[in-house]
Amino acid sequence: MSETKEYYRDKVAVVTGGASGIGLALAETMLSYGAKRVVLADINEANLVRETARLNAAHPGQALGVRCDVTNEEEVERMIQQASEFGERRIDLLFNNAGAGFWGHFEEQTNGDWEKAFALNFYAAVYCIRAVLPVMRAQGDGHIVSIISGIALVPMPQQTMYSATKAALNGLTIALRYELWDENIRLTSATPGTTATPIWGDMEAPPGSQSPEQSARTVLRGVAKNERLVFGDETDVYSGRYCFNTDLAKNFDEYLLDVARKRRRGEGIF
């Protein structure tokens, strides 16, 4: 058994946004690696029922679907309690995966729009972390993973809310990594890379996008190594290495300005 698979063997995991896309791929891959139990938390009840049944057909009794609006702290607390009971008082891994991409011109977005974006992409993770910490402290260890985005590394025009919320989530996760280190509770941020998931909405995923399963395997490998920041693909590696390099500021100014102008003309997203 590989070191990656060994890390997940007999583990209990919770995945928010777990009924589709990368979240579902994370859950299914962990089960294939020998995870003991996996909890899918999602607001989409139809997907949740269907995918939980499918996973249990392959891994009897090892998957639990919990309908949960992660922007509601009370629902999050109930979901974590159900997950702990299902896991026999253990939650070894929490994946803060629920989220959405947000598009639009800054001047057309209201404060209410911003509040909704932060509720889903940032505060939901805050609620989940607060709820799971007592469980992890009681068992003496745990690993919390936040699925961010390459946009946290290269903030993009017409995606101000997406850029800001994912950058905030990355900052929260990495700062907490060191607050909780001595309690044997690990934290990791992970970019999924460009992946063909429902986050693209009515648009087609960019050419060359990887599958959710490919993304999940990359993320799980980095998490097993306790990496601070897992990069989902080579584009994210490049972004993390160079976007804020002062020697390349002119290059990124030119690139992002070109993106902004193309988006204003409706000519593309990259």
Query: For residue 55, is it within any domain?
Result: yes
What average pLDDT does the segment 229-239 reach? 92
pLDDT, one tens digit per residue, over 94-138 is 999 999 989 899 999 999 999 999 999 999 999 999 999 999 999
Query: For residue 107, is it within any domain?
Result: yes
Does 196 have pLDDT greater than 80?
Answer: no
Q: Which residue matches tokens 């911003």?
A: 114
Question: pTM surpassing 0.85?
Answer: yes
Query: For residue 221, is it within any domain?
Result: yes
Q: Which of 15-29, 121-135, 251-265 has the lowest mean pLDDT?
A: 251-265
* Alpha-carbon distances, residue 83 vs 86, 92, 127 (angstroms): 5, 11, 15
Query: For residue 268, is it within any domain?
Result: no
**Distance between CA atoms of residues 117 and 73, nearest Å:** 15
The CATH number covering residue 65 comes to 3.40.50.720
Does 200 have pLDDT greater than 60?
Answer: no
Query: For residue 267, is it within any domain?
Result: no
What average pLDDT does the segment 203-214 reach? 75
Give residue 203's pLDDT band: very low, low, confident or very high (50, 70, 90): low
Query: For residue 41, is it within any domain?
Result: yes
When divided into structural domains, the chain yields a total of 1
**Distance between CA atoms of residues 197 and 203, nearest Å:** 11
Q: Percent of the chain at pLDDT above 90? A: 83
Q: Residue 171 belongs to what domain range?
A: 3-242
Query: For residue 84, is it within any domain?
Result: yes
Query: For residue 195, is it within any domain?
Result: yes
Does 206 have pLDDT greater than 70?
Answer: no
Which residues are the active-site residues? 162
Predicted pLDDT at 198: 67
Let me know: does 192 contact 232? Beta carbons within 8 Å.
yes
Does 83 have pLDDT greater than 80?
Answer: yes
